[in-house]
A and B are shown apart, each in its own frame.
Chain A
Amino acid sequence: MTTRPNPNRLWLAILSLLLSVSVIGCTVRYVAEYDGSIRDEIIRIAKTVDLFYGQMLDTPTAERQYKKFKDDYLKIETDLRALEMRNEIRTFNKESTTQTKIALDLWIDDKENHKKDNTADDATLKLHRKQFARVFVAMARGEEAKQ
């Protein structure tokens, strides 16, 4: 007497075979994996930028010549470029990469304006200090959301 295979069992056997092959990769990914060191680096740069504006605001307007702040502009620009590179090499990470590019654009814009005007008014400094705080908070929140 021949036994006919149970269709349900046959279906499950096929499915189990498929699952045994794909179960490890059986998740979807829309954003990059969380990287705590990137978050820490964002916070570190944010502190440096905040200190930079604090020091400039603490300097009398007439003494805010570009050359006094040139080195700090370049150091922070380098930090932002390095962060941009770290973000760019990660997969599923185009939003964070764009965020860093925008932060870099804003920074370079500040540097070029200061170079051109050779001074900066209090209102501009306060506004830009706040803008960068918002940018870095957004970047850090974005990284944390990937957890």
Chain B
Amino acid sequence: MSFDINAVMTDMGAAMQKTLEKDLPDIEDFGQEILEEEKESLELIGKERVAGRWSKEKFDKELEREKKVIQVEMLTIEIMTKAAAQRAVNAAIDVFVKAVKAALPI
């Protein structure tokens, strides 16, 4: 079998696209979940402050905590993105290795 780098590159691109198409919706869904959860938390914080049950100091402190929670969630997005990239690159490399193996003069 011959080794056609152009055909191999096309197959590598298709392999990457296939894994990314599977992974990217999960990342998008999680992003949406984060927004929904955040809305509920901010609503509670806002209501307590407006009702005067929480001082300005308490309000600021709770907002700082919220920022940390969002940071944790964003780190998950980062992990998901890196893992998706890892799967895509490895799928492409796998296509390349298989193409070369198939073309070996054995």
Question: Which B residues from 70 to 101 make CB contacts under 8 A with A?
Answer: 71-73, 75-76, 78-80, 82-86, 89-90, 93, 97, 100-101
* Distance in Å: Cβ of A87 to nearest Cβ of chain B: 12
Write out the residue numbers on chain A whose beta carbons fall within 8 Å of the beta carbon of B48: 123
Beta-carbon contact of A123 and B89 below 8 Å: no
Given the known A-B contacts A28-B89, A31-B86, A134-B37, are A126 and B44 also in contact in the complex, defined by CB atoms under 8 Å? yes
Write out the residue numbers on chain B whose beta carbons fall within 8 Å of the beta carbon of A9: 105
A74 at interface by CB-CB < 8 Å: no
Beta-carbon contact of B86 and A30 below 8 Å: yes
Q: How many residues of A contact B (CB 8 A)?
A: 39
Write out the residue numbers on chain A whose beta carbons fall within 8 Å of the beta carbon of B41: 127, 130-131, 134
Beta-carbon contact of A131 and B65 below 8 Å: yes
Given the known A-B contacts A12-B105, A28-B90, are A131 and B40 also in contact in the complex, defined by CB atoms under 8 Å? no
Beta-carbon contact of A105 and B68 below 8 Å: yes
Given the known A-B contacts A23-B97, A28-B86, A28-B93, are A135 and B78 also in contact in the complex, defined by CB atoms under 8 Å? no
A138 at interface by CB-CB < 8 Å: yes
Q: How many residues of B contact A (CB 8 A)?
A: 39
Beta-carbon contact of A127 and B44 below 8 Å: yes
Write out the residue numbers on chain A whose beta carbons fall within 8 Å of the beta carbon of B45: 127
Beta-carbon contact of B65 and A109 below 8 Å: yes
Could you give 29 example pairs across A and B, Cβ below 8 Å?
Answer: A12-B104, A19-B101, A26-B93, A26-B97, A28-B89, A28-B93, A31-B83, A95-B78, A95-B79, A95-B82, A109-B65, A121-B53, A123-B53, A127-B44, A128-B65, A130-B40, A134-B37, A134-B41, A134-B69, A134-B72, A138-B72, A138-B73, A138-B75, A139-B72, A141-B76, A142-B75, A142-B76, A145-B80, A146-B83
Q: Which 4 A-B pairs give the minimum distances between C-beta atoms?
A: A142-B76, A30-B82, A142-B79, A138-B76
Apart from A15-B100, A27-B90, A141-B30: 19 A-B pairs, beta carbons within 8 A: A12-B100, A30-B86, A102-B72, A106-B68, A106-B69, A123-B48, A123-B54, A124-B62, A128-B65, A130-B40, A130-B41, A134-B41, A134-B73, A135-B72, A138-B73, A138-B75, A139-B72, A141-B76, A141-B80
